[in-house]
Amino acid sequence: MSIDQQSTPYPGESTSGRLGSFMRAMFAVVWKDLSAELRSRELISAMLVFALLVILIFNFALDLDPASRREPTITAGVLWVIFVFAGTLGLNRSMAVEKDRGCMDGLLLAPVDRSAIYFGKVIGNLVFMLMVEIIVLPIYSLLYNVNLFNPGLLLVILLGSIGYVAVGTLLAAMAVQARTRDILLPILLFPVVLPVILAAVKASTGFLDGSEMEMILPWLNLLIVYDIIFSAVAFMVFDYVVEE
């Protein structure tokens, strides 16, 4: 009987059906974000130009002479500052567009699990952030004459971005509903996300430095633990954030 039934997206039919509809809802949100971005190119271009400006400012602010430019600690620190600032810009915008024209209300009316919306937004934001990072890395390598093509570094960037976006999406959903929404997100996000930045900078420095795996592993573990804890908790409390 259930075979000839079309896979209806109603939750609660069977375990596999529920998972299937969850995945479909999630990727629908991701696809919506990606196709909107593909047409407007507002978010990525803003994040990217901003990232380039931060690179420029750091060049003068730290007055980087060629020797210290290649210091792994400086490279890792500057890179993560760029990612964090550009990421804040993207997170705020991606939630503000949902709020502005009542898109969020429309999304919430859809008969899908709300955590599907959360994970959809997280994946969308993660894709934007990774795209910016992928473009920034070669530009940074070129401008500062350091080789950043290190598989370990790429792994750290992926893990760090997951943690950052997981908690950032949740907090951005809260920030856009406040009166002071333009200034609120960094204030909410930075102190909470500090452990992930600390671990990411340390692990990046380790990989750029060519340290032994023993030295880097605690930081990688910390990043993974952070990613898991914050995705799980954000998943549990997201309902309360979007509830009307």
Partner 1 sequence: MNSKPRLLTILDVVTVLLLLVASYMVFFYAPQEAVMGDVQRVFYFHVASGWVGMLGFIGAAVSGIIYLIKKDRKWDIVGLAAVEIGIAFIFINIVTGSIWARPIWNTWWTWDPRLTTATVMLLIYLAYLMLRQGIEDPDRRARFGAVYAIIGSLSVPLTYFSARIFRTIHPVVIGSGDPSATGSFDMTPMMTQAFMFSLFTFTFIFIDLFWHRIRLGQKTDHVEQLRLKTME
Whole-number CA gyration radius for the chain: 20
**30/203 with CB nearer partner 1:** 203
**10/190 with CB nearer partner 1:** 190
The two tokens of residue 191 are 């102190």
Min CB(218)–partner 1 separation in Å:
6
**108/198 with CB nearer partner 1:** 198
Say what angle helices 42-61 and 114-144 make with each other, to 10 degrees.
40
Instruction: Supply φ then ψ for residue 128, to 5 degrees.
Output: -60, -45
Min CB(182)–partner 1 separation in Å:
10
86 within 8 A of 50, measured Cβ to Cβ: yes
Binding stretches for partner 1 (CB under 8 A) = 167, 170-171, 174-175, 177-181, 184, 187-188, 190-195, 198-199, 202, 218-219, 222, 225-226, 229-230, 233-234, 237, 240-241, 243
**120/168 with CB nearer partner 1:** 168
**45/221 with CB nearer partner 1:** 221
Identify the DSSP state of 180.
T
Helix (H, G, I), strand (E, B) or coil at 73: helix
Min CB(177)–partner 1 separation in Å:
7
Strands (DSSP E) found in the chain? none
| Residue 243, Cβ density class (10 Å: 0-12 exposed, 13-18 middle, ≥19 buried) | exposed
**119/219 with CB nearer partner 1:** 219
21 within 8 A of 112, measured Cβ to Cβ: yes
Min CB(84)–partner 1 separation in Å:
15
Q: How far apart are CA 29 and CA 189, in angstroms?
A: 23
Min CB(170)–partner 1 separation in Å:
7
**157/167 with CB nearer partner 1:** 167
Mark 205-216 as b/e (b = at least 16 C-beta within 10 Å). Answer: bbbbeeeeeeeb
Min CB(132)–partner 1 separation in Å:
24
Min CB(147)–partner 1 separation in Å:
27
